[in-house]
Structure 1
Amino acid sequence: MRVRRAVLGDAHVDRAEARKTAVDADFQRFITEGAWGSVWARPGLTPRERSMITLALLAALGHDEEVAMHVRATRNTGASLDDIKEALLHVAVYAGVPAANRAFRIVKDVAAEMGETP
């Protein structure tokens, strides 16, 4: 939970925890332990590098809400808009221009919402 909060921020995690019910409690525990406790907590990559990899994968798979969430998380991971741009150029080459185009739109919208100039 410490890593999840460090990356996504307390407000996001608090909202997720407040919405948790018996239906998704096991799922929430699974992602906290698996994604945040096992993968994101590993020493092999920095949070910035993990952030860029995560954004590229989410963009390639078309998971728009998760792309937006992880763009917001870059405030906490140290990934810059230039880093995101580079990751999305890889998405364009390896996963397709439409996936990257959609992700670039999301990044610009979220960056503007965060008060950053895309």
Structure 2
Amino acid sequence: MAETSPSSARFETGMKTRRSVLGNAHVDRAEAGQTPFDQPFQELITEGAWGTVWSGQKWTKRERSMVTIALLAALGHDDEVAMHVRATANTGASPEDIREALMHVAIYAGVPAANHAFKIAKATYAEMDAAHAAGDKDEKSTA
């Protein structure tokens, strides 16, 4: 198997998609925290998750967002659930879309997993709303 390279076309596509979904600030923080120890892992997820799966042409980012959140919730990956709920601001998945995805989690992966994911999603949406409101106040005060 060939060694991955940050200059590969798949890496570049992955980085572009990763930034479009998670936002520049998130990706910049992740890149700044990268070390030689985790650099190969970061390359792997940038090429594999972002450059292949998230960059595919069959589903929209909205659809990928809903499926990703449902899978993360079902598997109990709480930090990733919150990160991907925040990413819905960029993917077009609405709170109603996420609610429906989590309803599926309840039936197919269990009520406790869905219950916890609902709690995370509610808190994350509340944080996003507060940040948006604070941003609106800042814009109004400087106008």
Query: Distance between the aligned counterparts of 1:23 and 1:58, measured in 2?
Result: 25
Residue identity matched to 2:30: A
TM-score, normalising length: structure 2: 0.80
Task: Work out the percentage of aligned pairs sharing the same amino acid.
Answer: 69
Cα deviation 1:58-112 (Å, max 9, x = unaligned) = 0000000000000000000000000000000000000000000000000000000
- Unaligned 5+ runs, structure 2: 1-14, 131-143
2:124 is aligned to 110
> What is the Cα deviation at residue 17 of structure 1?
0.1
Give the one of 7, 14, 26 matched to 1:12. 26
State the aligned residue count: 116
> What is the Cα deviation at residue 115 of structure 1?
0.5
Give the one of 20, 24, 39 matched to 2:53. 39
1:77 is aligned to 91
Residue identity matched to 2:61: P
2:42 is aligned to 28
Residue identity matched to 2:73: A
> What is the Cα deviation at residue 46 of structure 1?
0.2
Helix, strand or coil at the partner of 2:37? coil
Residue identity matched to 1:83: D
Residue identity matched to 1:18: A
TM-score, normalising length: structure 1: 0.97
Query: Distance between the aligned counterparts of 1:47 and 1:12, measured in 2?
Result: 17
2:81 is aligned to 67
- Unaligned 5+ runs, structure 1: none
Query: Distance between the aligned counterparts of 2:30 and 2:108, measured in 1?
Result: 32
> What is the Cα deviation at residue 3 of structure 1?
0.2
